[in-house]
Copies of this chain bind each other. A is one copy, B any other.
Amino acid sequence: MTASRTARERVRAELSREIVDIARRQLATEGAGGLSLRAVAREMGMVSSAVYRYFPSRDDLLTTLIIDGYNALGEAVERAEAARPRDDFLGRWLAACHGARDWALAHPHEYALLYGSPVPGYEAPQDTVPARLRDVTVLSAVLRDAVEAGAADPPPLGPPPPATLVADGENMRAIMAGVPDELILRALTSWTAMYGWISLELFGQLNNAIEDRRTAFDHSMRTMAAVMGLH
């Protein structure tokens, strides 16, 4: 199983990649709804039916675009966070947040594909799960490291976590081993605030309300960092 088995397989892989590239470009300019298999084929000088040799349906093409998108976003978040000193937990958190926001602003349509309303008639297959967790894994790691270093002292806020949630947190505890339940829930809240902000900003709900959005986002994320006890 070398990288180049036969000439046929090589050209097939190359064409598949070209289709995805053109599709991503069309996605970036036209949006998810404007992605057309026929237009992709036209741009490649192929006939539409030929594309179906490589992707059995439009949704399959969309799925690989989604997975690529999650990976691109996750990688952007990872890179932004990795640029900060390991013991600067607040800086790592803020860098990750800005990394996500910057990527979303640079790729609005791809972000909409990931975190916007699901595409009509399209059900996200399980294949997307691993790629989808890359960004939240980064955010979790920051908090976990802070807890391990004893650098997270969350202030008392509101009631203690309900019992059902403590039992519920099994899945999240896997990524955030050692983090107290209350803090896991605050991380979840911070996560919703972050993606809520990005979505509202990107989808135009913040127009005529906030002008200096980057500063406001920064302040908002600092507030959530304080809620989690990061300094």
* A155 CB–B CB distance under 8 Å: yes
Q: In the complex, are the beta carbons of A215 and B115 less than 8 A apart?
A: no
* A185 CB–B CB distance under 8 Å: yes
Q: In the complex, are the beta carbons of A203 and B34 less than 8 A apart?
A: no
Q: In the complex, are the beta carbons of B203 and A192 less than 8 A apart?
A: no
Instruction: Enumerate A193-214 residues with CB–CB distance to B below 8 Å.
Output: 193-197, 199-200, 203-205, 208-212
Q: Which of B120, B155, B204, B215 contacts A155 (CB 8 A)?
A: B155
Please, how many residues of chain A have a CB less than 8 angstroms from a CB on the other chain? 61
Instruction: Enumerate A100-128 residues with CB–CB distance to B below 8 Å.
Output: 112-113, 115-122, 124
Q: In the complex, are the beta carbons of A209 and B172 less than 8 A apart?
A: yes
Residue of B nearest to A169 (CB): B210
Q: In the complex, are the beta carbons of A192 and B172 less than 8 A apart?
A: no
* A161 CB–B CB distance under 8 Å: yes
Give every chain B residue within 8 A of A194 (Cβ-Cβ).
192, 196
* A168 CB–B CB distance under 8 Å: yes
Residue of B nearest to A185 (CB): B219
Give every chain B residue within 8 A of A204 (Cβ-Cβ).
118, 124
Q: In the complex, are the beta carbons of B118 and A119 less than 8 A apart?
A: no
* A164 CB–B CB distance under 8 Å: yes
**Bound CA span A121–B223, Å:** 34
Give every chain B residue within 8 A of A211 (Cβ-Cβ).
168
Instruction: Enumerate A207-231 residues with CB–CB distance to B below 8 Å.
Output: 208-212, 215-216, 219-220, 222-227
Q: In the complex, are the beta carbons of A33 and B112 less than 8 A apart?
A: no
* A30 CB–B CB distance under 8 Å: yes
* A150 CB–B CB distance under 8 Å: no
- The minimal Cβ–Cβ distance linking A187 to chain B, given in whole angstroms, is 11
**A residues with CB within 8 A of B:** 30-34, 112-113, 115-122, 124, 129, 132, 155, 157-159, 161-162, 164-165, 168, 171-172, 185-186, 188-197, 199-200, 203-205, 208-212, 215-216, 219-220, 222-227
6 A-B pairs with the lowest CB-CB distances in the bound complex, closest first: A196-B196, A116-B117, A33-B120, A112-B117, A192-B196, A158-B226
Query: What are 5 inter-chain pairs, A to B, with CB distance below 8 A?
Result: A115-B203, A116-B117, A162-B215, A192-B197, A192-B200
